Chain A
Amino acid sequence: MLELRNLSKSYASGRPVLSNLSWNFKAGEFVSIMGDSGVGKSTLLNLIAGLDTPDAAPGDSPIIVDGVPMSGLDDDAATRLRRARMGFIFQAFHVLPHLTLLQNVALPLLLNGLPTARAAEMLEAVGLGGRGDDFPHQLSGGEMQRVAIARALVHRPALVLADEPTGNLDPDTAHSILSLLRREIKATGACAIMVTHSQAAAAMTDKTLQLSKSGIQETTIVNSFKQ
Chain B
Amino acid sequence: MNHPMMPKPPRRDWTVLAMLAMVAVLVVASFASLPLKWREFFTLEAVNSTLELLAGFAPPDLSTPFLVKTGWAAIETMAMSALGTLLAVLAGLAFSLSASGRFGRPARALMRALLNVLRSIPELVWASILLIACGLGPFGGTLALAAHTAGVLGRLFADSLENAAPLPEQSLRTNGASAGAAFFYATLSQTLPQMLSYTLYRWENNIRAAAILGVVGAGGLGQMLKYHLSLFQMQQAATVILAMLLLVALVDGISFALRRVLTR
Which residues of A line the B interface, CB within 8 A?
49, 51, 79-84, 86-88, 90, 92, 94, 96-99, 107-108, 111, 151
Contacts and interface: CB of A to CB of B under 8 A. Distances in A.
Contacts of B174: 49, 51, 82, 88
Contacts of A92: 167
B257 to A, nearest CB: 22
Interface of B: 167-168, 170-178, 181, 185-186, 189-190
B176 A94 contact: no
Contacts of A79: 173, 176-178
B176 A111 contact: yes
A111 B189 contact: no
Given A96-B185, A96-B186, A107-B185, A84 B176 contact: yes
Given A96-B186, A98-B189, A82 B176 contact: yes
A213 B232 CA distance: 90
Contact of B190 (A83, A90, A98): A98
A82 B175 contact: yes
A94 B185 contact: no
Contacts of A90: 171
Contacts of B181: 111
B168 A83 contact: no
B168 A96 contact: yes
A94 B172 CA distance: 9
Contacts of B173: 79
Nearest to B175: A88
A82 B167 CA distance: 18
Contact of A111 (B167, B168, B175): B175
A128 B203 CA distance: 43
A132 B176 CA distance: 23
A82 to B, nearest CB: 4
5 contacts: A82-B175, A88-B175, A96-B168, A99-B189, A151-B175
A127 B248 CA distance: 53
A108 B175 contact: yes
B171 A111 contact: no
Contacts of B171: 88, 90, 94, 96
A46 to B, nearest CB: 9
A147 to B, nearest CB: 12
Contacts of A87: 175
Contact of B168 (A51, A81, A94, A108): A94
B192 to A, nearest CB: 9
A79 B171 CA distance: 12
A49 B176 CA distance: 10
Contacts of B168: 94, 96-97
Nearest to B168: A96
Nearest to A151: B175
B190 A94 contact: no
Nearest to B192: A98
A224 to B, nearest CB: 31
